[in-house]
Structure 1
Amino acid sequence: MIQTPPLRAAIYARYSSDQQREASIEDQLRICRRLIESKSWTIAEVYSDAAMSGASALRPEYQKLQDDARRGRIDVVVSESLDRISRDQEHIAGFYKQMSFLGIPLITVAEGEISELHIGLKGTMSALYLKDLAQKTHRGLEGRVRDGKSAGGISYGYKVHRELRADGTLTTGERVIDPNEAAIVTRIFTEYAAGRSARTIAAALNDEGIPSPDSGKGNGTWGPSTISGNWKRGTGILNNELYIGRLIWNRQSFPKDPKTQKRQARMNPPEEWVIEEVPELRILSDDLWQQAKDRQGAIRADMNPAGVQSVRLQPERARRPDYLFSGLVKCGCCGASYTLINKTRYGCAAARNKGEAICTNRATIQREEVESRVLAGLREKLLHPELIAAFIEEYRRAFNEAAGDRSSAQDQAKRDLKQVEKKITGILAAIEDGMYHPSMKTKMADLETRKTRLTAFLEDTPEPPALRLHPRLSDLYREKIENLSAALKEPGMKLEATQILRSLIAEIRMVPETSAPGGHEIELLGELAGILALSETDTTKPPHLARARNSVESVKMVAGADNHLHLPPSTLIFPMLRQVEPEILREIFRTAA
């Protein structure tokens, strides 16, 4: 009689990532070995996947088990229960179908030998379990968000904050502003609003060795996408509304592709978003946030001038202008662009590219002359006493607004400190009366910590000084205006000042005139013309026309259709003066002792 060799059994064990219990693997292996011994089988191989979800088929040991089965290295598969193999209906059905084709029975300690009935019932139950678990997890995370807590992950600019509860456990989901990272966030928004690109900002941060948001995961570096992200999905530094105290959750969902088992990001409808106000986490002012968003919108408009929703954006259209007035100079005869016909001179593009049938204007002019004449006219008009007075008043308002914010923060800290000291006094009085309770110790420690923080804040934040304008403030204004051309070339202020100046000019119209300097009269259209018109003393002129003349140039200023001044006269120069702080600030202001 020929003796049949014992079956070669393979054991598969797994525990899911939501349980995180290493001992679970050993427990499963022990009961599976006991079953194998009772059947007088031999153990051919042990396969185990630790901390891996049963909803995924991309498990290394699970894949190795199937490969060994196809190679004929095992005769039977043993597991604790069917849901250890998989919790996905499609996957468990496919595994059973493959093992049946290979003639390998699937046996579990909980269900015995698996049949089609088990696959149908247990597969359905596992699928329902996963769905129910996902819904409960989602519900729990939503509750945390509505309490203003983190639902997982900490944004750049913040750090985890944990406190000891009375029962000895630690709080979770709490976060506070990280001062160092918050300063970098403010810097990124300020530089971006001033005209720097995300690529330039990222390169500067890397050069300075400033850790990026991904530094905790390895040797992370700053990149343009880290800063710009995706404005629709709310990713990237520039799109994180938490910086203005607005927490948005459930903006996206991440279903798995059944073919690749990889998660795919999908936008949820706005009505499903969870939005909570968390003012204590605000880092940026609304003005700075809006300046950055306006620039983002302008760049998108440049990349898609027609505004077609389905069109692919063209980043090359949003390239920063090469020169101060690039793209703004137009032919006064036909309306076509005045472009550089060589390295130094502007000329009508239509006259050169389309012939005399379109335009007969063949006059040219030096680029630098156009810039100097426009800036010279601007310089002369901005020195008008009324505009100097408007600038000084704008500076006074900005200074007092900043001082007011500091004073408000001080007042709130003083009120909070008074409340904390009152509570400490109450607890001490209760202890003296013999009403001590162990929880008082934790409460007292929390109050003392708050008292220390508030006291330190008040010591580090002196009372805002009374503002007294230095008599040299108007002289400083004059110096900056008189050196306007040079100021626009200084690296520290070029981007911001150029951006503001270009935003005030809708068009620079070049009108050929042989008797004018450079063979052209120059007309300005836009908000800038309105600013210059404010200084006109000749009130007999029509309100839409202002003309500036001197010995070397003729510059005509034509306002726009509405002729309204939407920006204060100091808007152009104020950013320049901001660059001199804090060195010259002490010279500009005398503050009360």
Structure 2
Amino acid sequence: MTGQIRAAIYARFSTDMQRDASIDDQIRSCREYAARQGLTVVETYSDRAVSGASLMRSGMQKLLQDGRSGLFDVVISEGLDRLSRNQADIAQIYQTLLFADVMIETVAEGAISEMHIGLKGTMNAIFLKDLAVKTHRGLKGRALAGKSAGGLTYGYSAVNKVAANGEPIRGDRTINAEEAAVVRRIFQDYAKGLSPKKIAEALNIAHIPGPQGGNWGTSTIHGNRDRGTGVLNNELYIGRQIWNRLRYVKDPQTGKRISRLNPESDWVITDVPDLRIIDDDLWKQVRQRQGSLKSKGTGVPVWNRRRPRTLFSGLMECGCCGSGFSKIQKDSFGCSAARNKGEAVCTNKRLIKQTELEARVLDALANNLMDPEAVKVFCEAYTAERNRLAATATHNRAGIEKELASTKRDHGKLVDAIIAGVPADQVKDKMIALDDRRKDLEAKLAVADNPPAQVRLHPKMSQTYRERVAALIRGLAESEGMEEAREALRGLIEKVVLVPREEGSGLTIQLHGALASLLMLATGASTHQVARMASGAQNAKSSAVAEFQDYDIIDKLVLVAGVGFEPTTFRL
């Protein structure tokens, strides 16, 4: 080669080298190589602390762009692995530069040909895979020992220790008292009914730094329950470390890492009781609330669901077309279909002010939604359905008893296996599943043994209901418990139907109550239980209806404002 040949130098170091001076060393080595070959260096390109497993590097992208523009004739690098360690990527680099009549030479291998691309690319790919396997094996060893096998979790501090040989001991943690108090606050506030958004706002107002030192966000708190992300889903807070729940792969198009959920059989679960921050009761309360927060008919979890913006958002329905009522003006609601789809779908363009709607509905809730006659009908229907299910359970008793006996035998075999020396961790999940099934079968037998049910209306039920609704309405004006009161009140309503009056310009409001929720409140259920009902789906098979289980009859009953009560009429 002659001095007229223009050369570009490329250097890179990845995080496994951890030395910024490595870039200068590589460039110096490449310049010396260029001088020996009589090449003129016209440009240098570099990427600092970037993995060679991806092409999405600024220096590499600029080199390829300039190479296509004819800025240089040859690329010099210290070694082929500096250009890339990915077999497909190194082939793409080679083909791109070859198309632009640009050669590749390295200090280690000399002029690069197709043979180098195939051989070295394969060797580099094997190196990356082997490195990943060794790293994974080392991290698994840490996880099995109860040590940190990843980043440091909020609520804990790293413990710096040194072994006898002077090497640092990695992975030990201790509870950070200040951060642990914040974790407990988050769990307690959520269990009380506060939304992740409100919790984050309160923490930011108090100037409490988040896990990365910045502000708190909603997703940081609620995360994703299935993937174990977010403060509320981290089982380390109850002394249970789960490692290898997720794996990360690089998208070949973008170079970005994408997380994927591993099979549960691949998880490494270790008990670390000394790292417990949250007690079991509080953890269960949070889990129960998370389980009930599902969007109606979709099963969408709370972290993917928009919370209602106003007290009765999502509950209002047009009496003409059945569409929802939404905010049309700053302080007024109107039929969405009439506004968005025109008169061919709905002609109801009447509006109702938010303050007026909420005042009248709350008044009706407090005074008109516990009609004794409607409750009597419910009690009779519920009694009949409960007895039908009990009769069915009795008929199936023999099969239930047979399965229960088998379940107990299988559980006993696992206990014997542990006594014989089988590690408990290998059979723990199976034992838990069998024990849960045993409890379920015993509950079914108990139902079969119960005498015919009889549900009666307590004389003071209506009075108790009115007193508790009044307390909930007062709770809307208080910061403590406001969210729970709001959800509980929504849980008492099946829907609010707004019908244009035949005369005048007003709207008639027909308030439909969710009977199961009304009875829960009237018979002493906690406000928290009633609040959970609203979060799932307005009276649609909510897990919060502990007193009524999943009997279909509950879902079919609607209590309309009582006998002799004319629906409230608003004149606008």
Q: Report the TM range for the smaller structure's normalisation.
A: 0.5 to 0.7
| Residue 190 to residue 70, structure 1, CA distance change in 2 (3 Å) | same
Q: Secondary structure at the match of 1:254?
A: strand
CA distance in 2, matches of 1:497, 1:60: 50
C-alpha displacement of 1:527: 4.8
Structure 1 unaligned residues grouped into runs of 5+ = 328-338, 344-364, 377-479, 508-521, 533-559, 565-593
Using the size of structure 2 for normalisation, the TM-score is 0.57
Q: Which amino acid aligns with 2:308?
A: R
Q: Aligned match of 1:163 in 161, 165, 171?
A: 161
Q: Aligned match of 1:243 in 214, 237, 240?
A: 237
C-alpha displacement of 1:67: 2.4
CA distance in 1, matches of 2:162, 2:220: 34
- Name the structure 1 match of 2:65: 67
| Residue 371 to residue 94, structure 1, CA distance change in 2 (3 Å) | closer
Which is bigger in relative contact order (C-alpha 8 A, separation at least 6)?
A: 2
Q: Which amino acid aligns with 1:315?
A: R
- Name the structure 1 match of 2:184: 186
Q: Secondary structure at the match of 1:184?
A: helix
> Is the CA contact 2:56–2:254 (under 8 Å) kept in the aligned structure 1?
no
> Is the CA contact 1:145–1:276 (under 8 Å) kept in the aligned structure 2?
yes
C-alpha displacement of 1:497: 7.2
Q: How does 1:129-208 map to 2 (within 5 A)?
A: 129-208=127-206
- Name the structure 2 match of 1:322: 311
Q: Does 1:491 align with 2:489?
A: no
> Is the CA contact 1:92–1:119 (under 8 Å) kept in the aligned structure 2?
yes
What do the CA deviations read for 1:485-521 (whole angstroms, capped 9, x no partner)? Answer: 79756726544874897799899xxxxxxxxxxxxxx
Q: Which amino acid aligns with 1:137?
A: T
> Is the CA contact 2:224–2:303 (under 8 Å) kept in the aligned structure 1?
no
| Residue 127 to residue 374, structure 1, CA distance change in 2 (3 Å) | same
Q: Aligned match of 2:51 in 38, 50, 53?
A: 53
Q: Which amino acid aligns with 2:305?
A: P
CA distance in 2, matches of 1:26, 1:272: 43
| Residue 486 to residue 298, structure 1, CA distance change in 2 (3 Å) | closer
CA distance in 2, matches of 1:493, 1:11: 64
Q: Which amino acid aligns with 1:179?
A: A
- Name the structure 2 match of 1:9: 7
Larger Rg: 1
Q: How does 1:270-349 map to 2 (within 5 A)?
A: 270-300=264-294, 303=295, 305-306=296-297, 315=305, 319=308, 322=311
Q: Does 1:234 align with 2:228?
A: yes
Aligned residues: 378
> Is the CA contact 1:9–1:77 (under 8 Å) kept in the aligned structure 2?
yes
CA distance in 2, matches of 1:38, 1:46: 17
C-alpha displacement of 1:37: 2.3
Identity across the alignment (%): 47
Q: Which amino acid aligns with 2:197?
A: R
Q: Secondary structure at the match of 2:219?
A: helix
C-alpha displacement of 1:130: 0.8
C-alpha displacement of 1:43: 2.1
CA distance in 1, matches of 2:276, 2:232: 14
CA distance in 2, matches of 1:174, 1:206: 30
> Is the CA contact 1:246–1:276 (under 8 Å) kept in the aligned structure 2?
yes
> Is the CA contact 2:476–2:485 (under 8 Å) kept in the aligned structure 1?
no
What do the CA deviations read for 1:528-554 (whole angstroms, capped 9, x no partner)? Answer: 56559xxxxxxxxxxxxxxxxxxxxxx
Q: How does 1:65-144 map to 2 (within 5 A)?
A: 65-144=63-142
> Is the CA contact 1:79–1:109 (under 8 Å) kept in the aligned structure 2?
yes
> Is the CA contact 1:195–1:499 (under 8 Å) kept in the aligned structure 2?
no
| Residue 487 to residue 63, structure 1, CA distance change in 2 (3 Å) | closer
| Residue 283 to residue 41, structure 1, CA distance change in 2 (3 Å) | same
Q: Secondary structure at the match of 2:169?
A: coil
C-alpha displacement of 1:131: 1.0
> Is the CA contact 1:506–1:527 (under 8 Å) kept in the aligned structure 2?
no
> Is the CA contact 1:530–1:563 (under 8 Å) kept in the aligned structure 2?
no
C-alpha displacement of 1:139: 1.3
- Name the structure 1 match of 2:211: 213
What do the CA deviations read for 1:401-456 (whole angstroms, capped 9, x no partner)? Answer: xxxxxxxxxxxxxxxxxxxxxxxxxxxxxxxxxxxxxxxxxxxxxxxxxxxxxxxx
| Residue 190 to residue 375, structure 1, CA distance change in 2 (3 Å) | farther
C-alpha displacement of 1:80: 2.0
CA distance in 2, matches of 1:113, 1:146: 48
CA distance in 1, matches of 2:58, 2:490: 58
- Name the structure 2 match of 1:25: 23
C-alpha displacement of 1:375: 13
> Is the CA contact 1:375–1:485 (under 8 Å) kept in the aligned structure 2?
no
C-alpha displacement of 1:23: 3.9
| Residue 68 to residue 291, structure 1, CA distance change in 2 (3 Å) | same
> Is the CA contact 2:223–2:232 (under 8 Å) kept in the aligned structure 1?
yes
Q: Secondary structure at the match of 1:14?
A: strand
> Is the CA contact 2:147–2:172 (under 8 Å) kept in the aligned structure 1?
yes
CA distance in 2, matches of 1:35, 1:496: 70
What do the CA deviations read for 1:295-322 (whole angstroms, capped 9, x no partner)? Answer: 111112xx1x33558x999835x53993
CA distance in 1, matches of 2:224, 2:50: 30
| Residue 373 to residue 68, structure 1, CA distance change in 2 (3 Å) | closer
> Is the CA contact 1:527–1:563 (under 8 Å) kept in the aligned structure 2?
no
Q: Which amino acid aligns with 2:111?
A: E
What do the CA deviations read for 1:1-30 (whole angstroms, capped 9, x no partner)? Answer: xx9653222222222211113343344334
CA distance in 2, matches of 1:150, 1:136: 17
CA distance in 1, matches of 2:231, 2:87: 40
CA distance in 2, matches of 1:213, 1:121: 45
CA distance in 2, matches of 1:96, 1:209: 53
RMSD of equivalent CA atoms = 4.2
> Is the CA contact 1:506–1:526 (under 8 Å) kept in the aligned structure 2?
no
> Is the CA contact 2:152–2:158 (under 8 Å) kept in the aligned structure 1?
yes
C-alpha displacement of 1:129: 0.9
